[in-house]
Structure formats: structure tokens, C-alpha cells
Chains A and B, each alone.
Chain A
Amino acid sequence: EAQVTQNPRYLITVTGKKLTVTCSQNMNHEYMSWYRQDPGLGLRQIYYSMNVEVTDKGDVPEGYKVSRKEKRNFPLILESPSPNQTSLYFCASSSKTGGGSGELFFGEGSRLTVL
């Protein structure tokens, strides 16, 4: 089954404790992206990757890091989480890169709370 898998789905952590949210897709997609969703603000792009070793900032990259060492994986790293990073995070992938991507397939979401 074609899917995007995120882990963990739910996480409560404390300020400053490094954490990683993993994202893996089994569709051989080149394009992967992270979004955060906050009430009234829609989905805001954090980082995206057009292929292995190619990543770029989205609209809200501050406080986040990503890496793309393998095609299927695109982890989101919070080096020193703060309460304003409490949010619902979605990973998404697509079969095309730039100049007209295909439909985005979303993971189920990871709800993160930073105390």
C-alpha cells in the first residue's frame, strides 16, 4: 500500500530536549516536504526536498533542521524545541519536482506538544 509514515504520532516533550520526527514514503517519490498546521493559519511549509541531498527552506524554517540522505526518508529535527513549536506536523511526498509537482500524499500527522 502506497503510504507516507510518520513517527511518533503524538509526543509531549520539554523545552530544549532534542527530538526527531521521522518520515518515510514507499512510493519512490523525489519530492518531500514538511508542513506545520496551526489553527487559523492553514498548512505552512517548513522545509522541502527535491531529491536526495537537495533541501531548501520553506516559509517557517526557524528552529528546524532536515536531512535527505535516502530517497525514502526525510526526518524533521528540532534541536532545541520551544513552546511555539507546539503544533500538528505533516510530512508529504510527491512524484514530481518543481515546475508542476504531482499530488501531495500526506502522512497521518504528528502532534507535538512542547512544555
Chain B
Amino acid sequence: QQPVQSPQAVILREGEDAVINCSSSKALYSVHWYRQKHGEAPVFLMILLKGGEQKGHEKISASFNEKKQQSSLYLTASQLSYSGTYFCGTEGASKIIFGSGTRLSIRP
């Protein structure tokens, strides 16, 4: 079952912060986060593993609540380059299922 992302879209001014949430109804082994710019392929940002290990981007952080099967992506001091659609991917039983995405627009 597809994880639920919120919000569906957000508009920020450069320098503002944003939080994107991802929630699953199934037990998870890990959560992936990807960013896709228009007309391009998704690009890896971060993986959060069961047990607390994180691997990923320097300027973007995330959390993973295993008990609640929820993850949040934190974008601080947003830059114009952060614009795009963010997808969370939840992993269980070898399948990585993506949410429908959160469109982030950054204005100067």
C-alpha cells in the first residue's frame, strides 16, 4: 500500500524551512527520500534504516519513527535548488513503494 505524503504541495521563500511527512500502514525496514526535478529522474537524498542509522545528504535531515511507521524530511534554510517533487519510498519485503510526492516551490 502506497505511503501517504503530506503536504501535497508547499511554496516557500528562499531561506524558509519546510517539513515533509511520510506515513505508512505497514511495518517498515527503511525509508528512502528522493527529489525529482521537472523532466529528470529521481535523485537519492537519504535512507533511514530501522535501528536509527541514516545515510544521505549533508544539508537535509530526516527522522524515522519505527513504531509509528512515519518519517519526516526537514529542509532548512531552503535554497532555489531545493525546488522539485520529493518522494518518500517505504521498504518492506524487498519492495520499495513510493508515495505520490510533495511538490516544493521556492521563490526568491
Contact = CB atoms under 8 A, between A and B. Distances in A.
A33 interface: yes
Contact of A48 (B34, B41, B95, B98): B95
Interface in A25-71: 31, 33, 35, 40-45, 48, 50, 56, 58-59
A109 B96 CA distance: 18
Interface residues of A, number: 28
Interface of B is mostly: strand
A102 B96 CA distance: 11
B29 interface: yes
Contacts of B101: 42
Nearest to A106: B41
A77 B14 CA distance: 44
Given A42-B87, A43-B87, A106 B97 contact: no
Contacts, number: 64
B95 A58 contact: yes
A104 B91 contact: no
Contacts of A108: 40-41
A93 to B, nearest CB: 12
Interface stretch (B42-50, B59-67, B72-80): B42-50
A104 B30 contact: no
A98 B42 contact: no
Contact of B94 (A98, A104, A107): A98
Given A97-B94, A101-B94, A104-B32, 8 more contacts: A33-B96, A35-B98, A41-B100, A43-B89, A48-B95, A100-B29, A100-B49, A103-B55
